[in-house]
């Protein structure tokens, strides 16, 4: 151990079954674990090296038989070649198919529920977006209505001074002229002063 820098483990069983051990690393378990690890790797390498054509032939036969069994089961699941099956085998096949149908239907229902939930979320989002757009449209229409109400009022206020000033000069103009009597003469005694037609603000 000292000269070769090696790990040494010694196990001794006496005739009475008593155990004696010695290890240079003062830990026999670590040496044993290392031994198991390396011995397992060596066994794997030796098994690979010792393969013969006969073992390959046997492995090929096993795989071929397994493939035939899988193909036969696939046909049975598809409802084909059922004549060779007994009553018990048919019952087992029926139970397997029922179990498979239950799992398929369960998965189908799960996917349908997920799809419905997703569609409901999209519908809710579209409704919220529609309500938001409708609210914005109503606010815009209200603003346009207010603007259309203010514009005619300002136009009427600008033109009202011209409309009101026109009839002021024609008020009571017929009363300023004298009235003729029966003889065509002007009755001076009945002549009256024309009324004051000027508005108070002038």
Calculate ∠ Cα 163-164-170, nearest 5°.
Answer: 105
The residue among 104 and 85 whose pLDDT is bigger is 104
The residue among 75 and 110 whose pLDDT is bigger is 110
Task: Identify the CA nearest to 11 among candidates 3, 2, 1, 21.
Answer: 21
Beta strands 19-23 and 9-13, pairing class? antiparallel
What is the distance between the alpha carbons of residues 152 and 159, in angstroms, rounded to a whole number?
11
pLDDT at 58: 77
Is the per-residue pLDDT at 201 higher than 90? no
- Is the model's pTM score more than 0.75? no
Note whether 152 and 160 are within 8 A (CB).
no
Residue 124 pLDDT level (bands cut at 50, 70, 90): very high
Per-residue pLDDT reduced to its tens digit, 35-57: 888 877 777 666 665 556 666 77
For 54, half-sphere exposure in the C-beta direction (CA atoms, 13 angstrom radius) is: 1
Ramachandran category for residue 5: left, alpha or beta (phi over 0 → left; psi -120 to 50 → alpha) = left
């Amino acid at each position: 151990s000292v000269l070769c820098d090696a790990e040494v483990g010694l196990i001794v069983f006496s005739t009475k079954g008593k155990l004696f051990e010695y290890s240079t690393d003062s830990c026999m378990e670590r040496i044993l674990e290392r031994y198991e690890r390396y011995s397992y790797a060596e066994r794997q390498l030796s098994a690979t090296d010792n393969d013969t054509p006969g073992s390959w032939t046997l492995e090929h036969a096993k795989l071929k038989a397994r493939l035939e069994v899988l193909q036969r089961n696939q046909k049975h699941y598809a409802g084909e070649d059922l004549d060779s099956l007994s009553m018990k085998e048919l019952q087992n096949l029926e139970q397997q198919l029922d179990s498979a149908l239950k799992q398929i239907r369960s998965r189908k229902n799960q996917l349908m529920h997920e799809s419905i939930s997703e569609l409901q979320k999209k519908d809710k989002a579209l409704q919220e977006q529609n309500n938001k757009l409708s609210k914005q449209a109503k606010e815009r229409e209200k603003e346009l209505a207010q603007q259309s109400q203010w514009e005619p009022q300002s136009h009427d206020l600008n033109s009202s001074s011209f409309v009101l000033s026109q009839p002021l000069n024609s008020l009571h103009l017929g009363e300023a002229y004298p009235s003729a009597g029966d003889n065509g003469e002007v009755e001076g005694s009945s002549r009256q002063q024309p009324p004051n037609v000027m508005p108070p603000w002038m």
